[in-house]
Structure 1
């Protein structure tokens, strides 16, 4: 495929609104997380080839599929995602690829474009707003995570599960508030909807509030299941 002439398509490393390929997934990629993908669907094979042709930044946006499936198209997508930078490409037989990527920056979709030859959107980077001191929120979240692990272990023992899930380690977190809040979202045992809420929070302190709500909901559910 020929490289588009418009320099805006070269990736989200540029300021303002840019055109970027989008990979909708049934999972949430957070900034700082690693992502491995098996590529076989023709539209995403085309996406990989365009992203790795050396004429643009090797990156694409990842957004959560709110409703639908990864294969076949027609899915409903969220409006907030993460830039995934390709760090390794392994070409496989039958026009397939294995990718390793790293989540870098958060993005916000401004306008969806035509899906031919693959999903694309006009998007802008969305850095965190200023947050407040999160010491108290972080301490409360640690207590809740410990409580959730205790309840989960009790549930596992009651139901004959030999190896209960390990406790999420909330130690050795980054010093930067934004990176720390994303790391917490990555480590806590929460589902895609709660991870998306954390990703969509406007700042680090709001993200901790969203994570606290998610863990509280998980605790309440586990307590109900233990009745």
Structure 2
């Protein structure tokens, strides 16, 4: 009998949010609660990331919220002080993960033991989803100028295409979480294609 070793768990601070962060995506946050200022200090000092999870119950501020089990590692790429003195950070989405167990520290910061998911292998966009590439180009032109310089090869990658569409299309957060949790890039594109008619003007 072959016993497959479980991947080792990684302990990370968790940041429950009312939005979904996708691999390769960008997150901009304004930090003011002491527990999250501590989180930023910890990540900056050690060069580590934190976990972003969609809030299932509760709010971003106040009492610790109940987060979804599947989230995305965020790594801080820039930070600055806003005019009102609050700390602003920019973070980039990395690997997805699954929370195996979590606990709340005395300061209210949520920490989790998580299993990191491997990145999706590069997969060319099936020809039946070519329209989605055109739609993403238009969305980026109007809504996401930071992606305008993305290489053409990115649009040909089913995983990148699906994650960017899931970011930019007006999906509700439950639908975005569903797109994050899917393992098959082609299935993600198929589900996004099937949702599109909802956004077409009559």
TM-score by length of 2: 0.75
Please state how far the C-alpha of 1:76 moved relative to its aligned partner.
2.3
Work out the CA distance in 2 between the residues paired with 1:68 and 1:83. Answer: 21
Q: For 1:32, which of 24, 37, 49 is the aligned residue? A: 24
* Farther-moved stretch of structure 1 (104-113 vs 205-214): 205-214
**Equivalence for 2:193:** 212
Contact 1:30 1:103 in 2 (8 A): yes
Please state how far the C-alpha of 1:25 moved relative to its aligned partner.
0.5
Work out the CA distance in 2 between the residues paired with 1:130 and 1:103. Answer: 17
Work out the CA distance in 1 between the residues paired with 2:37 and 2:87. Answer: 7
Task: Count matched residues.
Answer: 187
Please state how far the C-alpha of 1:104 moved relative to its aligned partner.
1.4
Please state how far the C-alpha of 1:122 moved relative to its aligned partner.
0.7
Matches within 5 A, 1:60-99: 60-91=50-81, 96-99=86-89
**Equivalence for 2:116:** 125
Contact 2:17 2:55 in 1 (8 A): yes
**Equivalence for 1:57:** 47
Could you tell me which runs of 5 or more consecutive residues in structure 2 were left unpaired when the two chains were aligned: 1-6
Contact 1:130 1:203 in 2 (8 A): no
Residues 92 and 188 (structure 1 numbering): CA distance in 2 closer, same or farther, change over 3 Å?
closer
Could you tell me which runs of 5 or more consecutive residues in structure 1 were left unpaired when the two chains were aligned: 1-14, 150-165
**Equivalence for 2:164:** 183
Whether 2:183 is the aligned partner of 1:202: answer yes
Work out the CA distance in 2 between the residues paired with 1:209 and 1:69. Answer: 32
Q: Deviations over 1:190-224 (max 9, x none)?
A: 222211111010121121133234334x24xx77x
Work out the CA distance in 2 between the residues paired with 1:42 and 1:75. Answer: 16
Residues 190 and 90 (structure 1 numbering): CA distance in 2 closer, same or farther, change over 3 Å?
same
Residues 31 and 80 (structure 1 numbering): CA distance in 2 closer, same or farther, change over 3 Å?
same
Q: The residue matched to 1:113 in structure 2 has which SS?
A: strand
Contact 1:36 1:101 in 2 (8 A): yes
Residues 51 and 129 (structure 1 numbering): CA distance in 2 closer, same or farther, change over 3 Å?
closer
Work out the CA distance in 1 between the residues paired with 2:77 and 2:131. Answer: 36
Please state how far the C-alpha of 1:93 moved relative to its aligned partner.
8.9
Work out the CA distance in 2 between the residues paired with 1:83 and 1:64. Answer: 12
Work out the CA distance in 2 between the residues paired with 1:67 and 1:198. Answer: 20
Residues 43 and 215 (structure 1 numbering): CA distance in 2 closer, same or farther, change over 3 Å?
same
Please state how far the C-alpha of 1:142 moved relative to its aligned partner.
6.2
Contact 1:128 1:203 in 2 (8 A): no
Instruction: Compare CA radii of gyration and give the structure with the larger one.
Output: 1
Contact 2:103 2:112 in 1 (8 A): yes
Residues 91 and 116 (structure 1 numbering): CA distance in 2 closer, same or farther, change over 3 Å?
farther
